[in-house]
Amino acid sequence: MDFAPGDPALMLTVLRSAEANLDRNMLLRRVLSLFCTDDDGNQIAIEDGPDLQRRIDSAIANLRLAGLIRITAGDELSITSLGTAMMMAYPLGIDDGVLCSLPAFRNQIYETYAPVVHERHLPNSAYGSGFSAGLDAHRLTENPYPSDSRDHEDWLMGWDEALDQSKREAETLLN
- The CATH number covering residue 15 comes to 1.10.10
Domain stops at, among 88, 113, 138: 113
Question: What pLDDT shows up at residue 81?
Answer: 92
Question: What pLDDT shows up at residue 9?
Answer: 81
Q: Is residue 27 part of a domain?
A: yes
Q: How many domains does the chain have?
A: 2
Q: Is residue 120 part of a domain?
A: no
Q: What is the pLDDT along the chain (175 residues), one digit of tens a residue?
A: 333 446 788 888 899 999 999 888 898 888 887 766 666 767 666 778 888 889 889 899 999 999 999 998 888 899 999 999 998 888 888 888 888 888 888 888 888 877 776 666 665 788 889 999 998 888 888 999 998 888 899 999 999 988 888 787 777 776 5
pTM of the model: 0.58
Residue 78 phi, psi dihedral angles, 5° rounding: -135, 135
Domain that holds residue 166: 125-174
DSSP run (H or E) holding 105 = helix 103-113
Question: What pLDDT shows up at residue 117?
Answer: 65
Report the alpha-carbon distance of residue 18 to residue 32 in Å, rounded: 16
Q: How many CB atoms lie under 10 A from the CB of residue 146?
A: 9
Looking at the DSSP assignment, which residues form a beta bridge with residue 79?
A: 69
Q: Is residue 2 part of a domain?
A: no
Looking at the DSSP assignment, which residues form a beta bridge with residue 69?
A: 79
Q: Is residue 118 part of a domain?
A: no
80 and 46 fall within a common domain: yes
